[in-house]
Amino acid sequence: MIELNRIKHSFTLGRKGNERRVPVLHGIDMRVGKGEIATLVGRSGSGKSTLLHLIGGFLRPTEGSIRIGGQDVTAFTEGQWADFRLSHIGFVFQNFQLIPGMTAYENIELPLVLRGLSASVRRNRVKEAMERLGIADYADHYPAELSGGQQQRVGIARALILDPPLLLADEPTGSLDSENEEQFLRLLRELNEERGLTLLVITHDERVAAIGSRRFRMEDGLLSEIAAEAEKEEALR
């Protein structure tokens, strides 16, 4: 589902004429198969969020190639990425990124509106999603009227309303208490099992990382697979 080949990325700092390039990622190779749960851990500043933004098309790599679902997306234009994200990728964020002036129902409905689906189709899909996630009673509530856990579920419903095959989650439990965190992780496992959804979860929390069938670590812009590290250590004992 995700295939990264020799990905490098640098940011440009300074004013024009006095710019300097700051490398962030140093030749990343990564494979995540269809239906896998992959987790990526790393300290703040290690490059893990940059990698997620590259996979989501919000940044373009300085070098290397990106394939998602077998399609080379490296050179996509912004318009191509916008269309591709609607049909292929859902996003869940730490701060939920719900639109304050929209109700829970309207936030979830938004991708369907952007896709141009009819009102009746939108109504059925949103109702089904809200019932599935246990938030049907909060359709008319605005984000400020919802708890953190409820807001997170609205965000998940919005991310999955178009049935994308891939879900990217950036520190998704950072704003949740321990009870809501456990409920969220249980929900991710269920979605993976029921839908065959592929997940890539970026986190600094080892407890969250433990849900991954594939586990990666980012350190100083370099990626390693934790399982491979563990097997190597075991072999040396």
For the chain, list the domains and their CATH numbers: 34-61+78-236 (3.40.50.300)
pTM, full prediction = 0.85
pLDDT of residue 227: 65
In the predicted model, is pLDDT for residue 142 greater than 60? yes
Task: Name which residue leads in pLDDT, 125 or 94.
Answer: 125
Rounded Cα–Cα distance for residues 161 and 202 (Å): 21
Sorted by sequence, the CB contacts under 8 Å of residue 232 that are 6+ apart come out as: none
Distance of CA 71 to the CA centre of its chain: 18
pLDDT of residue 184: 82
Neighbours of 212 (CB within 10 A): 21
CB-CB contact of 92 with 172 (8 Å): yes
Mean pLDDT of the chain: 89
Q: Give tens-digit pLDDT for 109-136.
A: 999 999 999 999 999 999 999 998 889 9
pLDDT of residue 15: 77
Q: Strand order in 214-219's β-sheet? A: 89-93, 166-170, 198-203, 37-41, 214-219, 222-225
Burial 52-64 (b: 16+ CB within 10 A, else e): bbbbbbebebbeb
CB-CB contact of 28 with 6 (8 Å): yes
State mean pLDDT over 192-204: 90
Task: Name which residue leads in pLDDT, 57 or 171.
Answer: 57
CB-CB contact of 150 with 138 (8 Å): yes
In the predicted model, is pLDDT for residue 236 greater than 60? no
Q: How confident is the model at residue 235 (pLDDT cuts 50, 70, 90)?
A: very low
Q: Give tens-digit pLDDT for 210-223.
A: 899 999 999 999 99
Distance of CA 120 to the CA centre of its chain: 29
In the predicted model, is pLDDT for residue 190 greater than 70? yes
Burial 93-122 (b: 16+ CB within 10 A, else e): bbebebeeeebbbbbbbbbbeeeebeeeeb
pLDDT of residue 43: 85
Query: Percent of the chain at pLDDT above 90?
Result: 61
Rounded Cα–Cα distance for residues 56 and 181 (Å): 24
Residue 137 DSSP symbol: G
